[in-house]
Amino acid sequence: LVVIELCYSMFLARKAIRSQTSKKNSLIKQQFTYLSSKRNIAGVIRSDFPDIDIPNTTIPEYIFENFLTYPNKIAVECSLTEKKFTFDEVLCKSRNLSGALRQKLKLNPGDVVAVLLPNMPDYPICVFGSLMASLKVTTINPIYTPTEISVQLEDTNVKALFTLMEHVPKAQASMKLTHRRVPIIGIKMREADTVAEGAIDMREFVNTKTDIQDFPSADSNDTALLFYSSGTTGLPKGVELTHRNIISNVMQSSDPRVRMFQEATAERQDVVPVIVPIFHIFGFSSVLLVHLHKMCKMVTMPKFDAHPFVELLARHQPHILMLVPTIVNFMAKEPLVKKEYLESVRFVLAGGGPLTASDLENLSHKVANNVAVNQGYGLTETSPAVFMPSIRTRKLGTRGSVGELLSNTSVMLRKADNSDIIITSPNEPGELFVKGPQVMKGYYNRPEENKGAFLNGWFKTGDLAYYDENKLFFVTERLKELIKVKGYQVSPAELEGLLREHPDVLEAAVLGVPHERYGEAPTAYVIPRPNRNINIDNIHMYIAERAANYKHLVGGIQITDNIPKTASGKILRKELRKKYMEEIS
Please, what's the b/e burial string for 316-346 (b: 16 or more CB within 10 A of its CB; e: otherwise)?
Answer: bebbbbbbbbbbbbbbbeeeebeeebbeebb
The answer to whether position 267 is within a domain reads yes
Phi/psi-derived region of residue 234, left when phi > 0, alpha when psi is between -120 and 50, beta in every other case: left
Beta-bridge partners for 510: 524
How far apart are alpha carbons 333 and 431 in whole angstroms?
Answer: 33
Could you tell me the sign of the dihedral formed by the alpha carbons of 84, 86, 87, 90, in that order?
A: negative
The answer to whether position 354 is within a domain reads yes
How far apart are alpha carbons 101 and 109 in whole angstroms?
Answer: 11
* Same domain membership, residue 489 and residue 419: no
Residues 392, 260, 32, 41, Cα dihedral to 10°:
-60
Count of alpha carbons within 13 angstroms of residue 556, beta-carbon side: 9
How far apart are alpha carbons 238 and 229 in whole angstroms?
Answer: 6
Q: Specify the DSSP class assigned to residue 207.
A: S
Of 344, 340, 338, 339, which Cα lies nearest the Cα of 321?
344
How far apart are alpha carbons 428 and 465 in whole angstroms?
Answer: 8
The answer to whether position 497 is within a domain reads yes
The answer to whether position 227 is within a domain reads no
DSSP 169-202: HHHHHHHHHHT----EEEE-SSTTPPPPTT-EET
How far apart are alpha carbons 545 and 466 in whole angstroms?
Answer: 41
CATH value at residue 244: 3.40.50.12780
Query: How far does the chain reach from its first CA to its final CA, in angstroms?
Result: 68
Of 376, 348, 346, which Cα lies nearest the Cα of 363?
348
* Same domain membership, residue 197 and residue 257: no
* Same domain membership, residue 506 and residue 440: no
How far apart are alpha carbons 85 and 82 in whole angstroms?
Answer: 10
* Same domain membership, residue 206 and residue 182: yes
> Can you give the pLDDT of all 585 residues of the chain as single tens digits?
444 554 455 445 444 444 443 443 343 233 333 333 344 567 999 999 999 999 999 999 999 999 999 999 999 999 999 999 999 999 999 999 999 999 999 999 999 999 999 999 999 999 999 999 999 999 999 999 999 999 999 999 999 999 999 999 999 999 999 999 999 999 999 999 999 999 999 999 999 998 888 777 899 999 999 999 865 455 789 999 999 999 999 999 999 999 999 999 999 999 999 999 999 999 999 999 999 999 999 999 999 999 999 999 999 999 999 998 878 888 988 889 999 999 999 999 998 777 777 788 889 889 987 888 999 999 999 999 999 999 999 889 888 899 999 999 999 999 987 889 999 999 999 999 999 999 999 999 999 999 999 999 999 999 889 999 999 999 987 776 788 898 887 888 889 889 988 999 988 999 999 998 999 999 999 999 888 999 999 999 999 999 999 999 999 999 999 998 754 466 888 889 888 988 887
CB 510 within 8 A of CB 498: no
Task: Determine the 3-state secondary structure of 72 from DSSP.
Answer: coil
Could you tell me the sign of the dihedral formed by the alpha carbons of 318, 323, 327, 329, in that order?
A: positive
Task: Determine the 3-state secondary structure of 247 from DSSP.
Answer: helix
Cis peptide before 384 (omega within 30 of 0): yes
The answer to whether position 41 is within a domain reads no
Domain edge (last residue) among 162, 186, 217: 217
The answer to whether position 35 is within a domain reads no
CB 241 within 8 A of CB 225: yes
The answer to whether position 390 is within a domain reads yes
pLDDT of residue 439: 98
Domain edge (last residue) among 444, 463, 478: 478
Count of alpha carbons within 13 angstroms of residue 122, beta-carbon side: 25
* Same domain membership, residue 244 and residue 163: no
Number of Cβ within 10 Å of residue 303's Cβ equals 13
pLDDT of residue 16: 47
* Same domain membership, residue 519 and residue 463: no
Of 70, 63, 65, 68, which Cα lies nearest the Cα of 268?
70
How far apart are alpha carbons 231 and 494 in whole angstroms?
Answer: 13
* Same domain membership, residue 579 and residue 471: no
Q: To which H or E segment does residue 23 belong? A: helix 2-37
The answer to whether position 298 is within a domain reads yes
**114-168 tens-digit pLDDT:** 999 999 999 999 999 999 999 999 999 999 999 999 999 999 999 999 999 999 9
* Same domain membership, residue 263 and residue 213: no
Domain edge (last residue) among 456, 478, 500: 478
CATH value at residue 102: 3.40.50.980
* Same domain membership, residue 392 and residue 257: yes
* Same domain membership, residue 515 and residue 462: no
How far apart are alpha carbons 540 and 562 in whole angstroms?
Answer: 21
* Same domain membership, residue 201 and residue 243: no
Pair type for strands 45-46 and 410-415: antiparallel
Residues 324, 282, 415, 408, Cα dihedral to 10°:
140
Whether the model clears a pTM of 0.85, i.e. scores above it, the answer is no
Number of domains in the chain: 3
- Measured between alpha carbons, how far is residue 538 from residues 101, 163, 545 in Å? 45, 32, 11
How far apart are alpha carbons 574 and 554 in whole angstroms?
Answer: 20
CATH value at residue 565: 3.30.300.30
pLDDT of residue 568: 44
Which residue range(s) make up the domain with 101?
A: 85-217
Beta-bridge partners for 377: 387
* Same domain membership, residue 455 and residue 488: no
